[in-house]
Structure 1
């Protein structure tokens, strides 16, 4: 007899084990130049992050829904008083809200409703020299973030220095270790972690 039971869909985590309904660091504020944008990968998905000429940060899925061309390769142009990102293939323009604002190939008498075309928008938050984006579990959700943006207490307006590095780490290594105080007196007092010559003790 075939197994007809199906596992309930996971909420808050992808099949690959990435946490959703969470905020992620998108870029240091200094990496987002006004009027420019670039591609990053977040939870295995391409995202275009940028800053409008007015200085507002934004994040959208970096795939035009028309022909799957990276929006990050386009340019920012003003459309009816708002800044939009133009796809480099057919010139479709998307606002920072993800909505399509212009399809140059449509004629004035075309009945097509532009509001039906959207690209995924990621809510953004900028504070203390960093830009964060929120990844909702439901990619079509327009609801506000389920959790508030990260708050680290009193920090300077911008970091003193930034180090870029890529860690090939599972969640157990990257997150669980940070929440495991039992390892601290063992690992962090080892010679290879904190040499006695520095004179620091936990």
Structure 2
């Protein structure tokens, strides 16, 4: 988000948390790890952080070590969900109480529509990127891990320009 890696998670009661997506130990993205509804665990050495970003467990620390794990942490940010979107306030994390502006409200259609948006930064040449989008032959092979055989059938795709991109319908 704005060049800052953020990991989002919800606790068992559905409360939202937003934290910097990097373990302070070795820099591993915490989103590669596990979340048990209370703590997010780094996949590299198992460091665990609570929903406020405070370190709660360092498995490799010997018993009786004087290191206070709660002094180790990752930046956490206020987050709120509204109208199906998650808003994260990327405040400077210094423990100061900040008066947050209200979350913008988005007018939603009364009828649900089937649509989705995918944003992906894919490191490749422009030719490879465009070919991957419009090449109908690769789908049954490259994407077979998430598509059933029954869903594989011939499709006609149409493309139309829209502001900032294009719309594909099949």
Give the alignment's TM-score, normalised by structure 2.
0.60
CA contact (8 A) 2:82 2:105 kept: no
Counterparts in 2 of 1:68 and 1:158: CA distance versus 1, 3 Å: farther
Counting matched residue pairs gives 122
Corresponding residue for 1:117?
Answer: 72
Larger RCO: 1 or 2 (CA < 8 Å, sep 6+): 1
The answer to whether the 8 A contact 1:123-1:145 is kept is no
- Which of 45, 59, 66 does residue 4 from structure 2 map onto? 45
Q: How far apart, in 1, do the equivalents of 2:75 and 2:110 lie?
A: 30
| Equivalent residue number for residue 150 of structure 1 | 103
- 2:122 equivalent to 1:163: no
* Cα displacement (A) at 1:53: 3.7
User: Structure 1 residues 54 and 163 mapped into 2: Cα distance closer, same or farther (>3 Å)?
Assistant: same
The 1:135–1:117 alpha-carbon spacing in structure 2 relative to 1, beyond 3 Å, is: same
Check 1:162–1:88 CA distance in 2 against 1; reply closer, same or farther (3 A cut): same
RMSD (Å) for aligned C-alpha atoms? 3.0
Structure 1 residue 45: Cα displacement: 1.3
Please give the secondary structure, in 2, of the residue aligned with 1:45.
coil
* 2:83 corresponds to: 128
Give structure 1 stretches of 5+ with no counterpart. 1-41, 167-202
1:107 and 2:62 equivalent?
Answer: yes
Which 5+ residue runs of structure 2 have no aligned equivalent?
121-170
